[in-house]
Chain A
Amino acid sequence: MSTLPLISCRGLKKIYPLSGVEVHALRGVDLDIERGEMVAIMGPSGSGKSTLMNIIGCMDLQTQGSYYFDGVNTSDLDARELAALRNKKLGFVFQRYNLLPRASALYNVEIPLFYSGMYGEEVKNRALAALSRFGIDELADNLPNQLSGGQQQRVAIARAVVNDPLVVLADEPTGALDTTNSLEVMNILQKMHIEQGVTIIIITHEPEIAGFCPRKLIMRDGKIISNEISSSDVRSKEV
């Protein structure tokens, strides 16, 4: 089991039955990602990047093929076990942040902890610690609409990592941000990758963002058409 990579996909296919017409979003994807890698997924719109990431994140099920996460075949898990996996080992960052609009920053970060069965002071302390890691603990009581885009995305990242996941999955995390904030977010993710060895997978359209990642995948028409691993000096890149 330990010989398997953290993420291991074989022959993944995803077909959406869209009003009679079948949409083949993935047409056979083989992919291995080791612990501690930082990977960028690029490719044109509609090439299946988000679809692949949703399957990797156990948010959706493949139509065909196998997916092993941390040595476990995800097809063997029921919905409850998949939920626990998302809670403990996976963290998501979305382009549109997806914060609960009427809840404070702190509350948003606390949510995954509640679903882990934690309660009381521990929840608050851990959430505050996560916020302060990204320098936004002073904004803990603000509602999302009282935060800038960059601040909201940092709250979302704090929520993604509050449970110390093995993998952080980010679907166009900088897609809605300006350059300064984009670089800031990437620095945060890179720091996590270098300092804690968290595995990070980022979907992006921007080459500069992909430049933060030692490994780049390019997708087209539901397949990975390029898989390039650059020299390790990218890790020390600073802005």
Chain B
Amino acid sequence: MSVRFRVLSSFSIDALKANKMRSFLTMLGVIIGVAAVILMMSIGQGAQQQVLSRINSLGSNLLTVMPGAAGQFVRSGNVNTLTLKDAQAIAKLTGVARVAPTVRGNTLATCGNKTWTTEISGTTQEIADISSLEVELGRFFSETDVAGISSVAVIGQTVYENLFDAGVDPVGSEIRLSGISFKVIGLLKSLGASSGGPDRDDTIYIPVTTAQIRLLGKTDQSVNQIQVQVQDLNQMGTVQDEITSLLRKRHRLSDQADDDFNIRNITQLQTAAQNVTGILTLFLAGVAMISLIVGGIGIMNIMLVSVTERTREIGLRMAVGANKQDILNQFLYEAILLSLTGSFFGIVFGIAGSKIFSHFAKWSTAISIQAVVLSVAFALIVGVFFGYYPARRASRLNPAEALSFE
């Protein structure tokens, strides 16, 4: 048995060596397919890791209270159920470290003869800590500024670049937001480019009171969101419950009524992001799988093209003493050998490709064992199926038929 195995597998190796071009072309399909699966999945999973780590950097002890019922798609400004007073009430709850209510709006900013359309974030001084904002020049606005409805602004790097000449100190300058004059008191450090997401440096921070009264005319004191920093991670649930009952009481909701607000925490965001990037990974893997199947069809083509030659070879081998099982085993070993060798090079090229991609595209990639196992298993199935099938057909002929096959 083991002698027969040795002999038959040596036949397989000899056959592959004897026909290098055919072996190479057959393997090429597997190589490209496996490399594509590994590369695509490493890109997808890299994206997933990147998104998740970015979300984690936002701080996992944050709760975000938004107006409108959960699941309801809220366009900012449409639902006005949250107010500044709600925020002040939440701040008094135990376990709450910081609270930052925010109103948002777009505005045309002018400075001298330069103009720039940007986002206004009307908020309190607490946002600096919550969102890890750091000042490069000047200062952030203070509680006094918020209480005094001061017309002061802290600008992001992108805003600075578009409204000021490079090198000019913006602190103390006058800018106009929707025609209303503001004094620049601070310039923020860059928060860094976020690939895909909005430019977080393209914002002007002003006191929430000023934004509501002077700029956006929100007489009802409504806000777009309230960010709550919780003191202790373990209290996230408790605090969330307390905020819920507090707001229900403040909004005078009956027991049957749904919440007219919703509270999101970072875990939910993580799950959502994981789902989205998981779908992305699956999609990429699917595309790559198709290339593996196309590679498999290539294998079948080459095998079928050579089937005349191979059928005669099978006939000859049977004429000199091979039985069906010998023939099938030889071709099976051949197909496995081709698939595994192809997979090996596919893995090498896939990993190399993923490293090159992450180097040039500045996109971190992650190679997973699943991708390797999945693609090799798939290549093995495809290779064996398409490589073995013609041999199976030929081995069913009797030697005389196989020898006279045209």
Contacts and interface: CB of A to CB of B under 8 A. Distances in A.
Interface in B3-59: 3-4, 6-7, 11, 14, 18-19
Given A92-B320, A98-B315, 14 more contacts: A59-B398, A59-B399, A59-B400, A61-B398, A79-B323, A80-B324, A80-B325, A84-B321, A87-B321, A92-B319, A111-B320, A112-B320, A117-B4, A163-B321
A107 B10 CA distance: 12
Contacts of B400: 54, 59-60
Size class of B's contact patch? 20 to 34
Interface string A77-102: 00110011011100010100010111
Nearest to A80: B323
Interface in A147-166: 159, 163
B320 A115 contact: yes
A100 B306 CA distance: 13
B322 interface: yes
B326 to A, nearest CB: 7
A102 B321 contact: no
Nearest to B325: A80
Contact of B309 (A101, A111, A114, A119): A101
A114 B6 CA distance: 10
Contacts of A88: 321
B53 to A, nearest CB: 55
Interface in B382-406: 398-401, 403
A103 B399 CA distance: 20
Interface string A156-181: 00010001000000000000000000
A116 B321 contact: yes
Size class of A's contact patch? 20 to 34
Contacts of A92: 319-320
> Which residue, B6, B312, B399, has most C-beta atoms of chain A within 10 A?
B399
A114 B319 contact: no
B317 interface: yes
Interface in B310-344: 312-313, 315-326
Interface of B: 3-4, 6-7, 11, 14, 18-19, 309, 312-313, 315-326, 398-401, 403
A80 B4 CA distance: 14
* Secondary structure of the B contact surface, majority rule: helix
Contacts of B321: 83-84, 86-88, 112, 115-116, 163
Contacts of A59: 318-319, 398-400, 403
B18 A102 contact: yes
Contact of B322 (A83, A159, A163): A83
Given A79-B324, A102-B19, A115-B321, A60 B399 contact: yes
B398 A60 contact: yes
B399 A87 contact: no
17 contacts: A59-B399, A59-B403, A80-B323, A80-B324, A83-B318, A83-B322, A86-B318, A86-B321, A92-B319, A100-B18, A101-B309, A102-B19, A111-B317, A116-B321, A117-B3, A117-B7, A119-B3
A86 B399 contact: yes
Contacts of A117: 3-4, 7
Nearest to A123: B7
A86 B320 contact: yes
Contacts of A79: 323-324
Contacts of A111: 316-317, 320
The 5 closest A-B pairs by CB, nearest first: A87-B321, A102-B18, A115-B321, A83-B323, A60-B400
Nearest to A60: B400
B14 A103 contact: yes
Contacts of A115: 7, 317, 320-322, 326
A117 B320 CA distance: 13
Nearest to B404: A50
B7 A114 contact: yes
Interface in A59-73: 59-61
Nearest to A98: B316
> Which residue, B317, B322, B400, has most C-beta atoms of chain A within 10 A?
B400
Nearest to A54: B400
A61 B6 CA distance: 31
Contacts of A163: 321
A87 B325 CA distance: 15
